[in-house]
Structure 1
Amino acid sequence: MIAGSLILSGRGSSARILNGVCLLLILAALLALMGADIEVYRVDPWQELSRIGRGLVQPAWHDLPGLAQALGQTIAFALLAVALAAPLGLLLAMAFRWLPVRLLCAAVRSVHELFWGLIFMQLYGLGATTGLLAILVPFTGVFAKVFAEIFEQQAAEPSRTLPPGTGGLKRHLYTLIPQSWPALVSYTRYRFECALRSSAILGFIGLPTLGFHLETAFRQGQYPEAGALLWAFLLLIAGIRLWLRPRLVPLYLLAACWLLPETVGFSNGGYLWRFISQDIWPAALLEGDWAALQAWYGDMFSEQVWPGLVQTLLLTQIALVLTGFVILLIYPFASRALAGPVLRWPGRFVLLVLRSTPEMVLAYVFLLLFGPSGLPAVLALALHNGGLIAFLVANGSDAEFKSPIRRPDDPTGLKRYAYIETPRRFPALLALLFYRWEVILRESAIMGILGIATLGFYIDSAFEEIRYDRAFLLILVTALLNMVVDSLSRRLRRLARTDRACRY
């Protein structure tokens, strides 16, 4: 990142500021290394790694009905959630100029799907309602934000043709939505891919999606079965454009309703009012005992909020900078201009694997290899997000390489990487990296579910102990932290002046 940031020098004050920001982020990551829990335990990872490798090379396909059911339920949650979240997000995007709407969307999207799943599980048990709402609620906020940004980028001339006094709804229906339709559809398709990953990892809290079977297989050392699950999910993601045809979507929606699982255990939906009016608030607050309330908040801050907050921020910072290095290292292998028309395909396959595999799954594998610390979380976050952004950067390189405006004396190989491709890609790379900053923070928090000492560890423990007041406070801290980072990353993206590259 240092080399790339220096490339920006001479482009004005914004570039100089970005250079300073890049160096500051790297310095912060180096300082974070001293406080983060990234100890490598004395384990023998090579034997375990060889077993995992054999499982991936020789997957066990004997339980095809169970595999099909897991994939079907994963798709069902994702498809129905996106089908509901996209139109809701579109409606909110039309009113996004109102501050209460923006704050609502920021709040709901700042809480990770797994945390929403833990909340709704207390109300509706392990079932369809919990899975759908866990994805639908945060995705609605994301759709509203991105759709509003797409509307802002449209030309103003068509709106001027409308009669004076035309309301906002008609202005959107007759001008902004038709102009934005290709971008809206493209982003919705991408969010469906994200929803598939979110649906898969909901299995880590007990829902019968792919993540549940993956965790079970890894925990029991059944790596051939885990390999079959991973390959099936990878093929599912890779073939989205082949099987997700618009004319088949109504049929898929009907099938998804039929595939949704039944609720396991009892449903607490009738206790919603009690949950939001009593259970999530400290007993001292409900009793009006202000001294006890102050002591409760003090204990929570010193014992859980502060330790979890510090580790979440430290791991996020290290993962953010490591993601930047991963991008610079691997995107050339998927670029036609750098790897060539044939050799780029292995590189693109590696990027497909990295961006398709959920971070929780990668972190779980690294936990088996390196032991319980923050190192598996950092590696998983850097590889997944690095693969995703490197894929987009390589696509941008390919699109420009096809352009006829090329000099015959352009350098090749390492010189082209250092003097042409990286300088051209770096502003968009930075904007994408800043865009994923909030995502990396949210993912760092939920890594606590795997036993890593981030905020998610204390949230998961609070739910297990049925201490909803503690869980609510910790989730609120997580949401506020994400909103602060999102605001900061948005300012940095504007500074990079490449917001249009940040649709992912």
Structure 2
Amino acid sequence: MFAYPTVRTSFIFLAIALAGLLVADIAITTANPWQDLGRLFWGVVTPNFFSTEGLLTALLRTVAFAFVGVALGSVCGFALSLVYRFLPVRMFCAFIRSIHELFWALIFLQFFGFHPLTGVLAIAIPYAGIFAKVYSEIFEESDPEPSRLLPPGTRSIPAFLYTKIPDCWVQLRTYTAYRLECGMRSSAILGFVGLPTLGFYLESSFSQGLYSDAGAMLVLFYILIATMPLWVRPKLLPAYVLAAPFFLGDGMPIIWGNVKRFFTEDIVPAPIRNGEGLVGLSEWMGDVWINEALPGIWNTVVLTQIALVATGILSLLAFPLISRHFGGPVRRTSGHILLVIARSTPEYILAYILLQLWGPSMLPAVVALALHNGGIIGHLIGRQTNTIQLRPDAPTGLSRYSWELVPRVYRSFLAFLFYRWEIIMRETAILGILGIYTLGFYVDSAIQNIRFDRAMVLILITALLNIGVDALGRYIRRKLALKTMPTC
């Protein structure tokens, strides 16, 4: 049931979001937004699968980057999870996972170029931090009883292999499979920075107004995600992982001198390179902070809070679509399809599409973030309501929703929402690359102007902001005793 602290917290966040709407830019600036939206819908229902050369190759490379990146990230994350109890390891993992995959890709592009290593590392590095955190939590929550039954003097490695791994295997496998699905989305959007994945062709089709071509790519991506349980089988995974590197492509050779120059010169603040001393460095930092960091932080926070509340509202409206307590199997099947589409489409792709239709403002970003994250939370809450048994004389319709189900799942709903808070902020920052004035906009502008020192400072600020929001979200969950956490 509702408790006063949860209601008060909800209204505080609602008030913050409403205040954010007063200062946010949410205008629609295109001349015929609904006509363009209709053209997009018509393109999706009349996809052209044969006009774009290299579409099948792009699809294979999307899968290949996901498999190699996630495999590398899971192996490194597993190793880090074994020493995750040490504070330096936790801080390192928090830092690398707080930087979005596209930011990592933009960094590696500067010295690796369009080499496959750029895409693989862009996925593997943040995913290693995520895997380390989740794997360590799974190990900590495992049953301690098997360890007590081992003979005295059993060494730690055999003890771990014989007690922890069997007990945690199902959870480890389930989470890794979910993260592979996330890797598919991450791999697809790497195309927006020039890597040869699905996003590259999607952006090209939209920029030329070829909506049927873009619709074909979206349909193929939905099919790819929806059919993963059919073709991603445990017995086939070793074969996929071994074969995936051969589908990454070649790229240009890596010039290691560029790597050395990037780390020893390019990212060193200009005043230090030019010998201007602390005075020059102070003035340089002040300029970065006032003209780029502060506006970026402000817009990132405002957009995040609006999107967070919009996600919550959409989640509460969406979960009845798949709940067995409302409607019949036909309506629930339709609801499942809608939520699969919403949660399978990366926020970046949704925002890109809506920006083409509505023009540059915060509105496309808010809608994209709310649809994707609302689809995820709505799906989780809907599944949870299916386990609830109602009385035979329970009310129906709106009363069932308001008085029987929402009060029972509201604490879980808040736990899911605060869990997604840091993820929403990560995506909000990166959406700046599309032209929205969040931190990503200033990072991308600095890189375009070959000011890598400013870009690295802004990326560091983005990481610290994400770490802070993640810590605040954990504090609120702990303060409100919101124990129900996502299973994936």
Report the TM-score, using the length of structure 2 for normalisation. Answer: 0.96
Is 1:229 equivalent to 2:217 in the alignment? Answer: yes
C-alpha deviation, 1:36, in angstroms: 2.1
Deviates more, 1:249-258 or 1:305-314: 249-258
Q: Deviations over 1:74-112 (max 9, x none)?
A: 000001111111121111111110001100100000000
CA distance in 2, matches of 1:247, 1:161: 32
Q: Deviations over 1:233-273 (max 9, x none)?
A: 00111111001011112222233122112215x63434333
1:57 to 45, 48, 57: 45
1:269 matched to which residue of 2? Answer: 256
1:12 matched to which residue of 2? Answer: none
Is 1:20 equivalent to 2:20 in the alignment? Answer: no
1:343 matched to which residue of 2? Answer: 331
Q: Deviations over 1:288-344 (max 9, x none)?
A: 611111100011111100001100000000000000000011110111222332310
C-alpha deviation, 1:484, in angstroms: 0.5
Deviates more, 1:191-200 or 1:25-34: 25-34
Letter in 1 for 2:453: D
Any residues of structure 2 matched to 1:300-319 within 5 Å, and which?
300-319=288-307
Any residues of structure 2 matched to 1:211-222 within 5 Å, and which?
211-222=199-210
Letter in 1 for 2:98: S
1:280 to 242, 256, 267: 267
1:423 to 394, 403, 407: 407
Deviates more, 1:170-179 or 1:315-324: 170-179
Is 1:454 equivalent to 2:445 in the alignment? Answer: no
Does the CA contact (< 8 Å) of 2:65 and 2:120 recur in 1? yes
2:373 matched to which residue of 1? Answer: 385
2:321 matched to which residue of 1? Answer: 333
CA distance in 1, matches of 2:46, 2:27: 32
C-alpha deviation, 1:168, in angstroms: 4.9
Does the CA contact (< 8 Å) of 1:43 and 1:371 recur in 2? no
C-alpha deviation, 1:163, in angstroms: 4.7
1:99 matched to which residue of 2? Answer: 87
Percent identical? 49
Deviates more, 1:310-319 or 1:121-130: 121-130
Instruction: Could you tell me which runs of 5 or more consecutive residues in structure 2 were left unpaired when the two chains were aligned.
Output: none
CA distance in 1, matches of 2:401, 2:200: 42
2:2 to 3, 8, 15: 8
C-alpha deviation, 1:141, in angstroms: 0.2
- Over 3 Å counting, the alpha-carbon distance change for 1:314 and 1:159 in structure 2 is same
Deviates more, 1:362-371 or 1:98-107: 362-371
CA distance in 2, matches of 1:357, 1:156: 39
Does the CA contact (< 8 Å) of 1:431 and 1:496 recur in 2? no
Letter in 2 for 1:382: A
2:148 to 157, 160, 164: 160
C-alpha deviation, 1:500, in angstroms: 4.6
Does the CA contact (< 8 Å) of 1:455 and 1:478 recur in 2? yes
CA distance in 2, matches of 1:372, 1:129: 32
C-alpha deviation, 1:412, in angstroms: 2.6
CA distance in 1, matches of 2:304, 2:452: 26
1:4 matched to which residue of 2? Answer: none
Deviates more, 1:105-114 or 1:120-129: 120-129
CA distance in 1, matches of 2:155, 2:484: 27
Deviates more, 1:294-303 or 1:359-368: 359-368
Deviates more, 1:200-209 or 1:389-398: 389-398
- Over 3 Å counting, the alpha-carbon distance change for 1:145 and 1:168 in structure 2 is farther
Is 1:483 equivalent to 2:471 in the alignment? Answer: no
Instruction: Could you tell me which runs of 5 or more consecutive residues in structure 1 were left unpaired when the two chains were aligned.
Output: 1-6, 10-15
Does the CA contact (< 8 Å) of 1:94 and 1:168 recur in 2? no
Is 1:40 equivalent to 2:28 in the alignment? Answer: yes
Does the CA contact (< 8 Å) of 1:109 and 1:141 recur in 2? yes
Q: Deviations over 1:118-164 (max 9, x none)?
A: 01111211121000000000000000001111122222222222355
- Over 3 Å counting, the alpha-carbon distance change for 1:499 and 1:148 in structure 2 is farther
CA distance in 2, matches of 1:18, 1:177: 37
C-alpha deviation, 1:45, in angstroms: 0.5
2:184 matched to which residue of 1? Answer: 196
Any residues of structure 2 matched to 1:405-420 within 5 Å, and which?
406-420=390-404
Give the length in aligned residue pairs. Answer: 487
2:458 matched to which residue of 1? Answer: 474
Deviates more, 1:190-199 or 1:164-173: 164-173
1:355 to 334, 343, 352: 343
Does the CA contact (< 8 Å) of 1:338 and 1:416 recur in 2? no
CA distance in 1, matches of 2:414, 2:159: 34
CA distance in 1, matches of 2:156, 2:412: 32
CA distance in 2, matches of 1:42, 1:189: 40
C-alpha deviation, 1:496, in angstroms: 4.6
Report the TM-score, using the length of structure 1 for normalisation. Answer: 0.93
- Over 3 Å counting, the alpha-carbon distance change for 1:222 and 1:420 in structure 2 is same
CA distance in 1, matches of 2:254, 2:434: 26
2:241 matched to which residue of 1? Answer: 253
Q: Deviations over 1:339-377 (max 9, x none)?
A: 332310111100000001111111111112221011111
Does the CA contact (< 8 Å) of 1:37 and 1:311 recur in 2? no
C-alpha deviation, 1:113, in angstroms: 0.1
Letter in 2 for 1:142: I
CA distance in 2, matches of 1:444, 1:328: 22
Does the CA contact (< 8 Å) of 2:377 and 2:417 recur in 1? yes
Deviates more, 1:110-119 or 1:25-34: 25-34
C-alpha deviation, 1:433, in angstroms: 0.7
How large is the RMSD of aligned CA atoms in angstroms?
Answer: 1.7
2:421 matched to which residue of 1? Answer: 437
CA distance in 1, matches of 2:156, 2:396: 52
Does the CA contact (< 8 Å) of 2:101 and 2:186 recur in 1? yes
